[in-house]
């Protein structure tokens, strides 16, 4: 089979926002306690953060981390996680039926984010609380001083404001599982009032309104339209959440699930633009895909875990090699929409449906999905070139017309590099892949990284952390303005070019 990508620097989707490569830490399971935080761990730093985990997080170069939830945030008292640790309350946390010790809160997390080289994307509780508490949190985090909450922060040891720029107005407020779930009009009104107060305290912040919890929600579409009619003038982004899985064991269909993500993004864009039209607005609403990933491996096991534990091992998906291919396709899809999707958060970062796993008090390692994310985060920033891929398609049980090759090119003018990310979805055939470089005269191949394993179900574990890892290949034939590489059957590929 043959395929081809045309790379033209004048036909582009747009420039990536760094926040496209964001992630997420929620107070759930072992994400915080036993994950990023382990004061008794041999690698713990002065604040109890695990240096071994930080090292892996830094490899992913995550520019922004959403915090503290997720479903957790809809019942959260942010004040619980500030000030003297010995005085912080322990609470029964209803979202995940766990015990929250509050040893870590915004005081500590903003410091962790700094150490990870990231910004915090802060979510406020619009479930059991409301605009007043959201406003107070902005004052605590961002106001310089001389007011009750800013002085409380200073008293707690943080003279300099945290300067948090990106804020989520609640989480999945359309979901019946959410504490304080609301109808679209109820949420739209409260989000609008919270947005006003928060921006009055700090006009430089950017706000994300909750979109649907996923495209399968019965109110999807109507929800976005209603929420945006209330909030359009006050918010900057609408959120999207979607998780994927292969519960039926149909890999051919599963590898095509990024087409669902693509359709979801297009639908949300059309609703945003509809509201823009009816409001006669000149403002463009951007998208924050602030929860996306594969999530299905742990769902059965989690039903057997006893409630009301501290840091129970929930949502601990062990990712297979085929999951890494799906994550690669999803990353390419996000890149294809970088003109409208400005923020995206791989949900989540450590232990909980995460690229990084730890043993509490023990080892830390990279899951299979770590690798495509690391590659895209390192080499996917710049100008995304219009996707122009020619290849055959296949039909699966669930979908028709799935392209065998999912690919995109990203040009970084400053670094003078051109990177092509490509997934070969064929389960049986290697595919010849031609990159047409007519518009990139003087660019030559600079390397081809492949993530491949014979076994689609292969995983990485603490004992075998390098079972699925990328390798280099030198198969690219280069002739004048054409570079021809081989995409191995079911593989993730990063083909690099640089100015000679
Ligand atoms: O990421 C796990 C959970 O998925 C989040 O808490 C929630 O927002 C979503 O349903």
171: Cβ below 6 Å to ligand 1? yes
Does residue 369 register a pLDDT over 90?
yes
Distance 283 CA to ligand 1 centre (A): 29
Give the closest residue to 372 by CA, choosing from 418, 425, 321, 413.
321
Q: 251: part of which helix (H) or strand (E)?
A: helix 251-254
316: Cβ below 6 Å to ligand 1? no
The sign of the CA dihedral 369, 371, 375, 377 is positive
For 185, 220, 241, the CA distances from 289, given in Å and listed in that order, are 22, 15, 6
State residue 261's pLDDT score.
98
Distance 172 CA to ligand 1 centre (A): 8
Give the closest residue to 490 by CA, choosing from 325, 293, 247, 374.
325
8-state DSSP, 306: P
pLDDT (tens digit per residue) in 111-165: 999 999 999 999 999 999 999 999 999 999 999 999 999 999 999 999 999 999 9
Q: Which of 26, 111, 172, 242 is catalytic?
A: 172
pLDDT (tens digit per residue) in 224-268: 999 999 999 999 999 999 999 999 999 999 999 999 999 999 999
Tokens of 247: 């519960």
347 CA: nearest ligand 1 atom:
1
293: Cβ below 6 Å to ligand 1? no
Q: Which of 93, 291, 322, 406 is catalytic?
A: 291
pLDDT class for 479, splitting at 50, 70, 90? confident
102: Cβ below 6 Å to ligand 1? no
Distance 203 CA to ligand 1 centre (A): 29
The sign of the CA dihedral 274, 277, 283, 284 is positive
Q: Cα–Cα distance between 356 and 373 in angstroms, integer?
A: 11
Mean local confidence (pLDDT), 22-44: 98
Does residue 310 register a pLDDT over 90?
yes
The sign of the CA dihedral 145, 149, 155, 156 is negative
Mean local confidence (pLDDT), 49-63: 98
Which residue puts its alpha carbon closest to atom 6 of ligand 1?
Answer: 70
Distance 198 CA to ligand 1 centre (A): 24
Give the closest residue to 81 by CA, choosing from 5, 25, 8, 41.
25
Which residue puts its alpha carbon closest to atom 7 of ligand 1?
Answer: 70
Distance 214 CA to ligand 1 centre (A): 11
pLDDT class for 195, splitting at 50, 70, 90? very high
Beta-strand runs (E) in 431-490 = 431-436, 443-451, 471-473, 477-479, 482-487
347: Cβ below 6 Å to ligand 1? yes
User: Taking a C-beta distance cutoff of 8 angstroms, is the pair 16, 335 a contact?
Assistant: yes
Distance 344 CA to ligand 1 centre (A): 14
348: Cβ below 6 Å to ligand 1? yes
Which residue puts its alpha carbon closest to atom 3 of ligand 1?
Answer: 70
State residue 217's pLDDT score.
98
172: Cβ below 6 Å to ligand 1? yes
Which residue puts its alpha carbon closest to atom 5 of ligand 1?
Answer: 70
User: Taking a C-beta distance cutoff of 8 angstroms, is the pair 67, 122 a contact?
Assistant: yes
State residue 236's pLDDT score.
98
Beta-strand runs (E) in 72-144 = 91-93, 98-100, 119-124
Active site residue 291: yes
Which residue puts its alpha carbon closest to atom 4 of ligand 1?
Answer: 70
User: Taking a C-beta distance cutoff of 8 angstroms, is the pair 71, 123 a contact?
Assistant: no
351: Cβ below 6 Å to ligand 1? no
288: Cβ below 6 Å to ligand 1? no
Does residue 411 register a pLDDT over 90?
yes
Active site residue 172: yes
Does residue 439 register a pLDDT over 90?
yes
User: Which of the listed residues 172, 177, 242, 355 should we mutate to test ligand 1's pocket, taking the one with most ligand atoms within 8 A of CB?
Assistant: 172
Which residues are 345's β-sheet partners? 22
403: Cβ below 6 Å to ligand 1? no
Distance 368 CA to ligand 1 centre (A): 21
State residue 475's pLDDT score.
87
Q: Give the predicted TM-score (pTM) of the model.
A: 0.97
70: Cβ below 6 Å to ligand 1? yes
Mean model confidence pLDDT for the chain? 97
70 CA: nearest ligand 1 atom:
6
State residue 257's pLDDT score.
98
State residue 5's pLDDT score.
97
Render the burial of 375-386: b for 16+ CB within 10 Å, e for the rest.
Answer: bbbebbbbbbbe
Distance 108 CA to ligand 1 centre (A): 22
- The pLDDT > 90 percentage for the chain reads 98
State residue 480's pLDDT score.
84
Distance 6 CA to ligand 1 centre (A): 38
69 CA: nearest ligand 1 atom:
6
Mean local confidence (pLDDT), 42-69: 98
User: Which of the listed residues 100, 241, 344, 353 should we mutate to test ligand 1's pocket, taking the one with most ligand atoms within 8 A of CB?
Assistant: 241
Q: DSSP secondary structure string, 127-176?
A: SSS-HHHHHHHHHHHH--SSSHHHHHHHHTT--S-----EEEE-S-TT-T
Render the burial of 89-102: b for 16+ CB within 10 Å, e for the rest.
Answer: eeeebebbebbbbb
For 30, 184, 236, 344, the CA distances from 285, given in Å and listed in that order, are 35, 18, 6, 15
Max alpha carbon distance in the chain (Å)?
Answer: 69
């Amino acid at each position: 089979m043959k395929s081809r990508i045309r790379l033209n620097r004048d036909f582009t989707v747009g420039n990536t926002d760094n926040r496209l490569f964001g992630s997420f830490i929620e107070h759930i399971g072992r994400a915080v306690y036993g994950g990023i935080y382990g004061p008794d761990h041999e690698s713990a730093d002065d604040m109890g953060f695990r240096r071994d985990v930080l090292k892996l997080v830094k490899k992913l170069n995550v520019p922004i981390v959403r915090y503290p939830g997720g479903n957790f945030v809809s019942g959260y008292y942010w004040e619980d996680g500030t000030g003297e640790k010995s005085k912080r309350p322990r609470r029964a946390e209803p979202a995940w039926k766990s015990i929250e010790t509050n040893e870590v809160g915004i005081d500590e997390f903003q410091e962790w984010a700094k150490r990870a080289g990231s910004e915090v994307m802060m979510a406020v509780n619009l479930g059991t609380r409301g605009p007043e508490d959201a406003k107070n949190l902005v004052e605590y985090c961002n106001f310089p001083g001389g007011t009750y909450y800013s002085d409380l922060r200073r008293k707690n040891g943080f003279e300099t404001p945290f300067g948090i720029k990106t804020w989520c107005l609640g989480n999945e407020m359309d979901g019946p599982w959410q504490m304080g779930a609301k109808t679209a009009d109820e949420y739209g009104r409260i989000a609008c009032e919270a947005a006003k107060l928060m921006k009055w305290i700090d006009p430089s912040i950017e706000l994300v309104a909750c979109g649907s919890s996923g495209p399968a929600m019965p109110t999807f579409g109507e929800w976005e339209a209603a929420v945006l009619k209330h909030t359009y003038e006050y918010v900057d982004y609408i959120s999207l959440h979607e998780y994927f899985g292969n519960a039926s064991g149909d890999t051919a269909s599963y590898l095509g699930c990024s087409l669902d993500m693509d359709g979801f993004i297009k639908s949300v864009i059309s609703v945003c633009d509809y509201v823009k039209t009816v409001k006669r607005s000149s403002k463009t609403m951007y998208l924050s895909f602030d929860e996306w990933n594969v999530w299905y491996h742990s769902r059965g096991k989690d039903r057997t875990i006893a409630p009301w534990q501290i840091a129970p091992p929930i949502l601990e998906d062990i990712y297979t090699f085929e999951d890494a291919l799906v994550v690669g396709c999803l990353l390419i899809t996000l890149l294809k929409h970088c003109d409208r999707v400005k923020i995206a958060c791989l949900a989540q970062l450590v232990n909980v449906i995460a690229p990084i796993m730890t043993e509490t008090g023990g080892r830390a390692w990279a899951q299979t999905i770590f690798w495509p994310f690391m590659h895209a985060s390192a080499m996917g920033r710049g100008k995304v070139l219009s996707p122009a891929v020619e290849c055959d398609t296949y039909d699966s049980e669930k979908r028709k017309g799935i392209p065998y090759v999912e690919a995109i090119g990203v040009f970084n003018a400053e670094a003078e590099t051109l990177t092509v990310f490509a997934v070969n979805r064929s389960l049986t055939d290697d595919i010849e892949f031609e990159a047409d470089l007519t518009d990139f005269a003087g660019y030559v191949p600079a390397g081809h990284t492949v993530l491949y394993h014979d076994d689609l179900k292969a995983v990485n574990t603490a004992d075998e952390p390098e079972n699925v890892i990328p390798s280099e290949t030198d198969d690219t034939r280069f002739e004048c303005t054409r570079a021809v590489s081989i995409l191995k059957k079911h593989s993730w590929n990063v083909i690099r070019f640089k100015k000679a």
